[in-house]
A and B are shown apart, each in its own frame.
Chain A
Amino acid sequence: MKDRTITVSVSGSGGSGAVTIGLVLLKSIANVGFYGYMSRSSGPQIRGGESSVILSFSDHPIERNADGIDLHFALDWRGFERFSDEIALNSDSCVIFDSSHDTLPDMVAKIGANIIEVNLKEQVKQIKESLPNSFAIGILAAQIGLPLESVFKALQQTLHQKDEAFIKDTIRAIEAGYTLLEESPSLISDWQPSSQSRWNISGNEACGLGALRGGIRLVAAYPITPASDIVEYLAPRLEKVGGTVLIAEDELAAMNMVIGGSFGGKASMTATSGPGVSLMTEAMGLAVASETPALVVNVMRGGPSTGIPTKSEQSDLNQALFGMHGEAPHIVVAPLSIADTVSATQWAVGLAEAMQTLVILLSNQRLGQSRAIVDAVPAKTYELQRKVLAEESAEPYERYAVTEDSISPMAIPGNKQGLYTAEGLEHTDAGKPSSMASDHLQQLRKRESKVAQFDYKDEWAEILTSGKRSRAIVLTWGSTFGSVKESVMELNREGMAIDLLALRLLMPLRVDAIKELCEDKQVIVVEQSYSGQFYHYCLGQGAIGASSLSLAEAGPLMLKKSDIKHFIKEALL
């Protein structure tokens, strides 16, 4: 464990409790002062299908799974082949499995990992209300070196609603599991506990919190995997801070509801995934044309069409950038990690409000549905507010008046001075429908210039420089940031000088700033799409040169650190 990270995976068929084990272990590691990250994967069944979690633990913040698995627990082997891509067992892995159901599958046997069999059926017989997964928790805790108290505390935090007898027996089962195998050296004995205040949060929860911080007061949505968790997080909370969640009949409705709420003066958003965005697209253009602030969160999954609903990809970038008809300048923002999702979402709300336009936030399944122990994210003040017409304004009101910053004050219904009709038709500065070339050009310029000249400050990207004269710079965006960052940092430690530029602001593209950072360096663009959408976008905009290289891999498997490192090394040979 030279980089002080351990990775543990758990798999099992439906109801076996792999996810519960993951949640308890994640909380346990948090209880002893460390960090962790848990991604989850499930088969196509709605309930009762196989599921798995992969946990990576460390004594420093970690927001990705390591390439290899140190320890795997198979509650049973049913459906394991579905995860064999994700759960990358190797000859260094230790595999523990419950032999009371089935024997070791050939595909695992031939890997040559260290195999430990346990018979949990036997164990369960001895403790009345116990479940196999409680023994598994004990076994894994012992293997990792987690103190039992941290696990019991985590158990209490997880099972708070269950009855006492059950908890008692579960504790006994965990204790029994803890001592079941031969004592092994703790994997975390030399780790330094953190003194930071930390959070246990998923990416979708982080998005919800960012929305609350940003002042969202209306959410309208139609359920879709993997975005529904955002709405489920917000539904019971938003109504307690003066807001509302509307259940829309479809995404066409959701987007229009968002526009209606925002027109009424309340910051509004929706959360969806690719298919939903496809349905929202017409109204997204309306938000742009009518200059109504609106936030659309797209938690991307594999596409096209219904695609891979439960897994991740970054392949809706082109849709977010170019999906609308006509010329519809808008903002596209992407969070770089779970922790970053809190502030990126808050920022996205602010950008929509301040510029009175559409903002698309591109998260994805991996970012949204993974959970991590992160340092608490302090609230930021972006000072991004909607410019509204004063109640006492005396001048004749022109809703789409061309101003210096191209943002015109918006009248909020109820203001006597600001009666106007918001328009999706091209219009004059007073908001009167017009098909005149001069009006069209004036309003095209206005809508374009307000987003082009806006000051995005330092938020537009995360920039890591090697501190030396770097030969190369890696350009990436969104959830691939975690893997790319670790790869680049390791290469720098190995003596290569490489910079990293991770974009939070994808549209408008900061072409000049990117060019400056990339100057005289080999540019390597890393992303999770089959066709290299991000690479082609940067190339097309002239932000990077023709000698730039593209590492583009389709989802749903996470880009491996080793592959990224290998690609960079090859590129710089």
Chain B
Amino acid sequence: MRDMIQEAFTAKDYLSDIRPIWCPGCGHFFILRALAQAFAWLKLPNEQIGLISGIGCSSRIPAYINAYGFHGVHGRALALATGLKAARPDMHVVVAGGDGDGYSIGGNHFIHACRRNMDMTYIVMDNEVYGMTKGQPSPTTEPDWESKFAPHGTGIRTFNPLGVALASGASFIARGFAGDPNGLTKLIIEAIEHKGFSLVEIKSPCVTFRPDEKEWSKTMRKMNMVPTDDVLEAAGKIHGSDGLDTGIFYQATLPVFEPHSTKEKTVADFEKEFEV
């Protein structure tokens, strides 16, 4: 892991002047900051960044970054990003969104984006709740968390995004914490630099609907994981973790899906095939 050096580019160069709609103290602010910082550190040209999202408090993020962005529909950000990356391999494609967006309604795209292992970064701002729709349980919510939607809790075990990502073929799998801006920035930098699909699952407290998550600043362990490229070892680490460990769990060189096209033919060549 590299040291943070002050560069000519600063986070400000990547932040737009639109004011976030987020509640004061929301974890998403720290992720926005870390993302801008990572872009600055990598000196990515703003116009070469494509920041794609779905719907949710978290998914509002493209408007707050000074780049090309797409605020699409709920759960489909990864699919939209796949189209962009296929059409424009030169773009740095970053996808961002919430736990509901990515693991519930977009769950199928999550699996297949991991499988495809295209060169893009997926940042999940996981607050273990649906923030935007005001506090319903998400796939990462504990089964006994009581809410209006589920008065006795969901009674359903939580989704393990890192485990699913590993099983599905993602080549970079990390967990970060919004309350550790430096560690988080480093993770995002590593993820963007990684060639392949990189998942950065970030615990991001929803201070409004999950005030209990403020505790995370005491319980989350900062960057305590040592990366491995061994799947079995990574599986052990992922499934052995209580969810409070952060850092890169797995990073490997795996085949990256890149559509390869040539210009060896013209449409007129194909028209000849029809001639009788």
Contacts and interface: CB of A to CB of B under 8 A. Distances in A.
Interface in B61-98: 62-63, 66-73, 75-76, 79-88, 90-91
Given A242-B261, A432-B18, A257 B79 contact: yes
Contacts of B63: 421, 432-433
Interface string B45-71: 111101110010000101100111111
A213 interface: yes
Contacts of A423: 71
A198 B276 contact: yes
B1 interface: no
**Chain A interface residue number, banded:** 35 or more
B274 interface: yes
A146 interface: no
Interface string A137-171: 00000000000000000000000000000000000
B112 interface: yes
Given A241-B263, A414-B47, A260 B71 contact: no
A300 to B, nearest CB: 24
Interface in A230-248: 237-246, 248
Nearest to B257: A246
Interface stretch (A16-24, A111-119, A121-129, A261-269): A261-269
Given A212-B267, A414-B47, A414-B48, A258 B83 contact: yes
Contact of B67 (A199, A220, A419): A419
A235 B71 CA distance: 29
Interface string B14-48: 00001000000000000000000000000001111
A500 interface: no
A242 B263 contact: yes
A413 B274 contact: no
A242 B262 contact: yes
Contacts of B83: 218, 220, 246, 256-264, 268
A264 B91 CA distance: 9
A10 interface: no
A365 B271 CA distance: 23
Nearest to A430: B18
Contacts of A209: 267, 270-271, 274
A266 to B, nearest CB: 4
B58 to A, nearest CB: 15
A282 B86 CA distance: 22
Contacts of B66: 419
A506 to B, nearest CB: 25
Contacts of A31: 276
A422 B71 contact: yes
A249 B68 contact: no
A253 B88 contact: no
A261 B87 contact: yes
A30 interface: yes
Contact of B81 (A260, A376, A414): A260
Contacts of B73: 256, 282-283, 285-286, 424
B79 to A, nearest CB: 4
B275 interface: yes
B175 interface: no
Nearest to B74: A282
Given A198-B276, A237-B270, A240-B261, A263 B70 contact: yes
A418 B48 CA distance: 11
Nearest to B105: A252
B109 interface: yes
B80 A257 contact: yes
Contacts of A265: 87-88
Given A239-B261, A264-B91, A249 B112 contact: yes
Contacts of A379: 267
A217 interface: yes
A263 B71 CA distance: 12
B261 A264 contact: no
A523 interface: no
Interface string A402-416: 000000000101111
Contacts of B50: 263-264, 413
A290 B72 CA distance: 8
A252 B79 CA distance: 8
B108 interface: yes
Contacts of A213: 267
Interface in A193-246: 197-201, 205, 209, 212-213, 217-218, 220, 237-246
Counting chain A CB atoms within 10 Å of each CB, the highest count among B45, B80, B88, B109 belongs to B80
A567 interface: no
Contacts of B45: 416
Contacts of B264: 240
Interface of B: 18, 45-48, 50-52, 55, 60, 62-63, 66-73, 75-76, 79-88, 90-91, 108-109, 111-112, 259-267, 270-271, 274-276
Given A283-B72, A414-B48, 7 more contacts: A200-B276, A212-B267, A218-B86, A253-B112, A283-B76, A419-B68, A425-B71
- Sorted nearest first, the 10 A-B pairs with minimum C-beta distance are A260-B83, A257-B83, A421-B69, A256-B79, A199-B274, A264-B87, A261-B87, A253-B79, A260-B84, A264-B88
11 contacts: A199-B276, A200-B275, A213-B267, A218-B87, A242-B262, A245-B259, A260-B70, A261-B84, A265-B87, A290-B70, A423-B71
